Amino acid sequence: MIPSTSVLVVVDVQNGFIRPPSAPVVPVIAGLVKRWQQEGGAVVFTRYLNYPGSPFERMIHWQKLQDSPEIDIVPDLAQLADKSITLDKRIYSLFSPEGIRLVREKGWSDLYICGIATESCVLKTAVDAFELNLTPWVLSDASASHAGQEAHDAGMLVIRRFIGEGQIIRVSDVPLSDSAVV
């Protein structure tokens, strides 16, 4: 059984972030979510929603992820997301005011974080958790960047510097029983 103080956070695995470099992580995440749910663990999926006039549009000149199907959770995870909590956000991190409230209400202290993109939304969620005195665990092999391996590696480097080498783990390190079906 997954402790009630732990949550699996699946960051922004949405159609608009799937490219050849990020696509291979989807089945890894799907397998992890299935096992986590089978053990009774809580799962939160985040969905990034861009909007006209956002800082992403004004400063980065990035106008994607404003409508379906770009904003939708990828098909391979959609049914799993339906059995979970989905938090829509307009920032990089899970920790919008609604996200902070959710984490506090549920009493989660250990956050197992995976998803897309390692160098932005995964990183920001992990650092915010750390700064809120929570314990982030970043799943390196269940995270990716749509910008490619170099961006993923850069994100992992910065995450290690921010929250510590010991907080970077692999899916095989997640405390799930061997009896969970993949």
**What residues make up the domain containing 72?**
6-173
Beta partners for residue 136, in sequence order: 111
* 181 within a domain of the structure (yes/no): no
Report pTM.
0.96
Are 177 and 36 contacting, i.e. CB atoms less than 8 angstroms apart? no
Read off φ and ψ for residue 172, nearest 5 degrees.
-65, -15
* 19 within a domain of the structure (yes/no): yes
* 178 within a domain of the structure (yes/no): no
Overall domain count for the chain: 1
Are 55 and 61 contacting, i.e. CB atoms less than 8 angstroms apart? no
* 127 within a domain of the structure (yes/no): yes
Read off φ and ψ for residue 9, nearest 5 degrees.
-110, 115
* 182 within a domain of the structure (yes/no): no
* 180 within a domain of the structure (yes/no): no
d(CA 131, CA 52): 30
- Distance between alpha carbon 149 and the CA centroid of its chain, in Å? 17
pLDDT in tens, 71-117: 999 999 999 999 999 999 999 999 999 999 999 999 999 999 999 99
Exposed (0-12), middle (13-18) or buried (19+): which is 36, by Cβ within 10 Å? buried
d(CA 98, CA 29): 24
In whole numbers, what is the pLDDT of the chain averaged over residues? 96
d(CA 94, CA 126): 9
pLDDT value for 181: 45
* 26 within a domain of the structure (yes/no): yes
d(CA 93, CA 74): 19
Q: Give the CATH number, domain containing residue 93.
A: 3.40.50.850
d(CA 144, CA 20): 10
pLDDT in tens, 18-46: 999 999 999 999 999 999 999 999 999 99
Pull the structure tokens for residue 155: 């994100």
* 159 within a domain of the structure (yes/no): yes
